[in-house]
Structure 1
């Protein structure tokens, strides 16, 4: 049995090695009907607290699926804090941005209303579903926290102790993240604006924050979801392989 090929699902229930449990109806339907797993089949189940386990299906009824957790694969390790503040954009593109952000290691996602935002609300249920699916796909153990929609000013006030990096299309193209990233850092917050970028007033507010850092993502104008991926990929590279930069 090759572990990496086993299907993987997230659950918020308590998980204990050598413990039997009944899965909720949504998980039961997915495993029985979508994946077509049978009695005796194995899959992986995880949560953000207890870790990841191999589960074996021991019984299947109309509305329930009974499993036994045979052994633990990984224990949960707390990840470095990486917050994404993203101006809300069109729904399908917002989901693309969230998906990439989860894959690239964000631990908290905060949708933002900015002066140039063309949209004023988000579907939290859809965003959370995207977060869970991306966590399952990317082999992470802890799904990022989804925070309520907020303003840029409130976001800044809530991240006073973080190093704030914001993508600024007016920034000198030489001021890239990899060139001006501080040598010492702890918690990082990234802000990506809407199409058209931040307003002059917002750029002024950002520049006055002592913990903020304006960066260029290059000469090309990027869509919001592309900017999210570009910025987070550079941070991941810098934080995981600093000696090679």
Structure 2
């Protein structure tokens, strides 16, 4: 069944107004008609079954009928990725959404090459991925921030899995320690992926000195940033995430 993310509140008999692009998708691509059903979510009120109530020249009006799933959230894991080339960054955002990241932070490191970032485009990619994967929320995409500033304002209680291309403990070994049991592993986490040129020695030294950081290796090969993001999130989910559900 078609799924749409909408920004409006959802409740019994509520009128839901998709965007013009979404309306065109429903009527021109999916060929839905008045009375046809679809699923709608907004990240707050769970997932609802809606029917097409009206088809107008300037859009479609939906009517919410019943909640089919209550709101739920996956584990609190953030992907922090250095700003890389457009195609790689868009791919990483899409896959991070599919893999359950709650937030994606864009990071500027010493070796980050200046890139223009379209947050609206990344938001749209995250929304589409959330619609397709069945999750009930859409990850927030944060403005680029310098790594030093990010670390200076680090959130208390959040662990950082630092993916160090120069070496570290294997992910499954590092996250399999008794101190990171399932119960404690479900706390707040972030995963840091560097730029194509890697972290500078100064950045690596600071990251490894922080008490909340766990330095890990993603294997014997040097991975592209987008590949590293997928690998790291996959291993984290398997070790301490929600893949046991």
TM-score of the superposition, structure 2-length normalised? 0.91
Would you say 1:35 and 2:30 are equivalent positions?
yes
Q: Contact 2:73–2:136 at 8 Å: present in 1 too?
A: no
Q: In 2 relative to 1, CA 84–75 (structure 1 residues): closer, same or farther, beyond 3 Å?
A: same
Aligned equivalent of 2:40? 45
Aligned equivalent of 1:93? 88
Q: What CA RMSD, in Å, does the superposition of the two structures yield over aligned residues?
A: 1.7
Aligned equivalent of 1:3? none
Aligned equivalent of 1:237? 238
Aligned equivalent of 2:188? 187
| CA-CA distance at 1:242 after TM superposition | 8.9
Aligned equivalents of 1:158 and 1:240: distance in 2?
Answer: 21
Alignment partner for residue 124 of structure 1, among 92, 103, 119? Answer: 119
1:153-178 deviation line (CA, Å, top 9, x unaligned) = 12222334211011111114xx1111
Would you say 1:176 and 2:164 are equivalent positions?
no
Would you say 1:159 and 2:155 are equivalent positions?
yes
SS of structure 2 residue aligned to 1:169: coil
| CA-CA distance at 1:59 after TM superposition | 1.7
SS of structure 1 residue aligned to 2:17: strand
Q: In 2 relative to 1, CA 154–23 (structure 1 residues): closer, same or farther, beyond 3 Å?
A: same
| CA-CA distance at 1:240 after TM superposition | 4.2
Aligned equivalent of 1:220? 221
Q: In 2 relative to 1, CA 220–118 (structure 1 residues): closer, same or farther, beyond 3 Å?
A: same
Aligned equivalents of 2:204 and 2:55: distance in 1?
Answer: 57
Aligned equivalents of 2:132 and 2:215: distance in 1?
Answer: 32
Number of residue pairs matched by the alignment: 236
Aligned equivalents of 1:43 and 1:30: distance in 2?
Answer: 12
Aligned equivalents of 2:234 and 2:203: distance in 1?
Answer: 25
Alignment partner for residue 108 of structure 2, among 113, 131, 134? Answer: 113
SS of structure 2 residue aligned to 1:166: strand
Aligned equivalent of 1:65? 60
SS of structure 2 residue aligned to 1:238: helix
Aligned equivalents of 1:46 and 1:218: distance in 2?
Answer: 38
1:190-243 deviation line (CA, Å, top 9, x unaligned) = 100011211111101101111101100000110101100110001111124798
| CA-CA distance at 1:24 after TM superposition | 3.2
SS of structure 2 residue aligned to 1:23: coil
| CA-CA distance at 1:121 after TM superposition | 3.2
Q: In 2 relative to 1, CA 21–85 (structure 1 residues): closer, same or farther, beyond 3 Å?
A: closer
SS of structure 1 residue aligned to 2:41: strand
Q: Which segments of 5 or more consecutive residues in structure 2 lack a partner in the other structure?
A: none
Which 4+ residue blocks in structure 1 deviate beyond 6 angstroms?
none
Q: In 2 relative to 1, CA 73–105 (structure 1 residues): closer, same or farther, beyond 3 Å?
A: same
SS of structure 2 residue aligned to 1:195: coil
Alignment partner for residue 145 of structure 2, among 147, 150, 153? Answer: 150
